[in-house]
Amino acid sequence: TGLNSSNFDFGSYNGYRSSFNSSSDSYTIGLDISSFVVDTDYLVTATVTSGGLQDSDMLVIRKASSKTIYISDISYEKVFKNLRVYLTVKELTGSTVAGAAINLTLKRDGSSYKNYSITTNANGVADLRVGNAKRGYYTIAVNSISSAGATYDPTLNTTDTGYDVP
């Protein structure tokens, strides 16, 4: 016998809706609680009963006050005597963020070289162009990122591997 929606016990709360979808050994449970979520944590327990077996899982749901953004990629390219650095800004959902303002420090051989303010394009990529890049090992230190309705979390940034200009 397959599982059906009566196998899931979400407890009771006025205004909740649940949905159930299944395929082979994978089960997805959807619970729309947006109508009653406020700024606090909720503990949701889903219990599945099938063929005499039972399993429960719990998760904490937090209503986000804003989207969280971070640097998902840093890449370097040498073009003649110039150095180009590309920084991609994303949300936790994986969507890129257009129009994000990035303040950063370019470092050469471990020391601050120059501060820059750049903005991401429609694809969420900011293009830093360093003319006549001198010999040395370059890295980026992101000081801040701002975008309307977003919170920057530097702990999510990708690791900058740097670039050696010979």
**pLDDT digits over 20-48, tens only?**
444 444 455 555 555 555 555 555 565 66
User: Domain boundary at 62, 84, 103, which?
Assistant: 62
87 and 158 inside one domain: yes
Read off the tokens for 119: 């903005």
Backbone torsions φ then ψ of 12, nearest 5 degrees: -130, 135
Per DSSP, 50 falls in state E
84 shares a domain with 49: no
pTM of the model: 0.63
The percentage of residues in the chain with a pLDDT greater than 90, rounded to a whole number, is: 58
The reply to whether 35 and 85 lie within a common domain is no
- Average pLDDT on 113-121 reads 98
Identity of residue 96: T
- Between 14 and 119, where is the model more confident? 119
* Residue type at position 104: L
Residue 106 has pLDDT above 80, yes or no: yes
> What range defines the domain where residue 53 resides?
5-62
Give the pLDDT band of residue 137 (cuts 50, 70, 90). Answer: very high
